[in-house]
Structure formats: C-alpha cells, structure tokens
Structure 1
Amino acid sequence: MARKKTITREHILSAVYEVISTEGFSGFTARNIANKMKTSTQPIYLEFKNMDELRTVFIDRVTADIRSEVYDRRFTDDCIVDLSINYVKFASDHSVLFKSLFVDDHESGNQLNEFTYDLFNEKVASDEKYSKLSHKIKEAIFINCWIMSVGLASLAASKRAKPQNEEIEKIIKNLIDLSMKHPDVTLTR
C-alpha cells in the first residue's frame, strides 16, 4: 500500500512564507524550507521541479495575497494615494517580508517591479480622474510616486520614520500635481 502524502504544496508554500518573512531570500534554500517543516527536502522536489519553480509559485501566491489583502484597502478618494499608503503600511507591518520582496536584490525582483507597475496601471485605468491622462503623464506619476513610496516604505520598515496616512496623502498628492505639470521631471523606468 502506498504511503499517504503528508507534506502538501500548501505546507511547502507556508514554510517558504515563514522563511522569507524571517530570513529573507538568503534563507530560500531547500534545506531551510525542509527544516521549517521538520522533514527532508524530498517532499519539496516531489511537488516542484526545482527551486526556481518554487520561487515563481511563491511569488505568484504572495503577490495575489498582497493584491487582495493589502492593496484593495481604501483610505482616501484617490487610488494612487491609497496604493502608497498600503505599500508603506505593508512595509511597516511586515518589514522583513517587505525588504525581502521589494528591496533586496533577488531573481524575482523584476517580476515584483512588474507586479507593482501593472497594479498601478489597473487602478489608474479604472479611475475617472486618471484614466484619460496621457501615457507620458501616467508614467511620470507612477515613477515619481513609486520612488517616494519606496523611500517612505523603507524608512517605515527600518523604523527610522513612522509616516502617517495624512502625511503620505499630502506628499503623494503633491507629486501627482508636479507630475501632471512637469511630466519630464522624472527618472526613467
């Protein structure tokens, strides 16, 4: 009789989440993940072809969770301000995970940058205030607000600052205004 599988894909992904949330991607090894589950590495390789596939599945899962549980919260009447507030709040509440995902250099960095860019574009496309703006202005708003949000979030994650929602709202609204008036004043993406 075949043995019943006791370590599932979900168990493995939960262990990956715990490892990344406490150690960052430097701890993303089969051995560390297996140790977290108190098992050998065999179940990992039975569920996933390799560590690259596991990383991709994890990033897909965590971005879906972040999208639904973090970025959909409303604080103001402005979708861009809300994205920034949510980003900073996520960094403050989950500092190691935030740094691991959005600050540290790792193989999935570009995938996470694209996730952020796509999410911004989805929010802007469904908002009357922003949807009809030119591509150039939307790009300027994205880049300027993204840079500021990453800075504020990094400060919040490292506990060097505690940006309040009202402060973030003022800063981001000023950047939006600046970007609309001067869309050439930005870094390239």
Structure 2
Amino acid sequence: MRRKVYTKDQILKAAYELIAKEGFGKFTARNIAKKMGISTQPIYLEFKNMQDLKNTLVESIMTDLHENVFPVRHTDDIIVDLGLNYINFARENRNLYVALYVDEYGGGQMVHDFSYDYFKENVSKDPKYADLSEDYIKPLHDGIWITVTGIASLMSSGIIQPSREEIIELIQRAIEMILNVKEPEKVFDNY
C-alpha cells in the first residue's frame, strides 16, 4: 500500500491558514498536522524543526507582500504608497497582520529586516528620494513604520477611521518631519 506524500507547499499552506486565522500562538506541529488530518511526521520530514517552518513561512509571506501588496501605486510618492499598502493589508487581513507585526510570537526581527530592505531598495530607486543617505533612510523607515503601524492598529481596533486623504496627510507630515531634521540619526534617541 502506498503512503500519501505531503509536500512542503501543502504544509506551508496549512501553516499559513492556521496563523491567518489564529496567529502564531497556536503555531505548533500538532495543530498544523491536525488541520491537515495527518501526523506530525511529514512536517518534520520537510522541515528541520518548527523554527525552520516558521522562518520559511514568514519568508514566503513577506515575498508575497513585496511582490503583490506593497508595490501597488496610489500616489506619486513611493513612501506614501508603501504606508497606504501596509495599512490596507492590516485592514483586509487583520489576523495575519497581527500575527506578523504585533504578536509576540510573530515574525519579529525577520519581518523588520525584510521591511527595511524592501523600503530601502524602493526608496533609493525613486528619483524623489534617490539622493538620501543611509542616515536619513533608516530613521525615515522607522518613523513611517511607527506612523502607519499606529494608524493600522487604531483602525483595526475600530478606535479611529481616518479618510484616505487624512492618512496620506499623516504619512506626508511624518516624512517631512524626518527629512527636515538636521541630525536624522538622532531622531529616535529619546525613545
């Protein structure tokens, strides 16, 4: 009798569905196997351990976000567009957003690194920001991320419901504030 073979992609799909619904707090081999109706053995045949599965899953999700979600253009400003796309993702995929960006068991430093690398690459290609030094890019990334995460979190919890124009204005103000600082590397020194 032939055994059914479970692929890495099938396991990743089940893991994705689990965290999109329940977050990383329920991210165990047993819960993924239960979702698939299998034992945990196929999971450990495809992945070294649960951290390997989690890293592979987060990389896969971030690649999808970078290819399909974050590049959508809304305005003539790449940074504003990245902020809008981040907020839209949070609103449309609340549980997955919380799992990746908020949950203590989420992507953490890996998600931050992916986001920073993507931000830096895209901002440096935009003629409006191409001449910015690293001294400005990092605080600009962090400041915009703080701004849009605050907006996304407050919108997701129903506390605020700003219009698209208000969101754009908030992001533009954050950009201007950081770009007008004489010593950008000190923007977050007091925090």
Q: Which amino acid aligns with 2:89?
A: F
Q: Which amino acid aligns with 2:61?
A: V
Moved beyond 6 Å, runs of 4+: none
State percent identity of aligned pairs. 42
Give the structure-2-normalised TM-score. Answer: 0.91
Are the aligned partners of 2:101 and 2:107 in contact in 1 as well (CA < 8 Å)?
A: no
Are the aligned partners of 2:47 and 2:53 in contact in 1 as well (CA < 8 Å)?
A: yes
The higher relative CO (CA closer than 8 Å, separation ≥ 6) is in 1
Whole-angstrom CA distance in 1 between matches of 2:116 and 2:11: 28
Q: Deviations over 1:138-167 (max 9, x none)?
A: 233222211101101111222322333221
Report the CA distance between 1:2 and its aligned residue.
4.9
Whole-angstrom CA distance in 1 between matches of 2:7 and 2:44: 11
Q: Deviations over 1:36-65 (max 9, x none)?
A: 111111111111111111111101101011
Gaps of 5+ in 2: none
Aligned to 2:137: 138
Aligned to 1:113: 112
Aligned to 2:42: 43
Give the structure-1-normalised TM-score. Answer: 0.92
Q: How does 1:49-68 map to 2 (within 5 A)?
A: 49-68=48-67
Aligned to 1:187: 188
Are the aligned partners of 1:15 and 1:33 in contact in 2 as well (CA < 8 Å)?
A: yes
Are the aligned partners of 2:100 and 2:106 in contact in 1 as well (CA < 8 Å)?
A: no
Give the aligned CA root-mean-square deviation in angstroms: 1.8
Q: How does 1:99-178 map to 2 (within 5 A)?
A: 99-106=98-105, 108-178=107-177
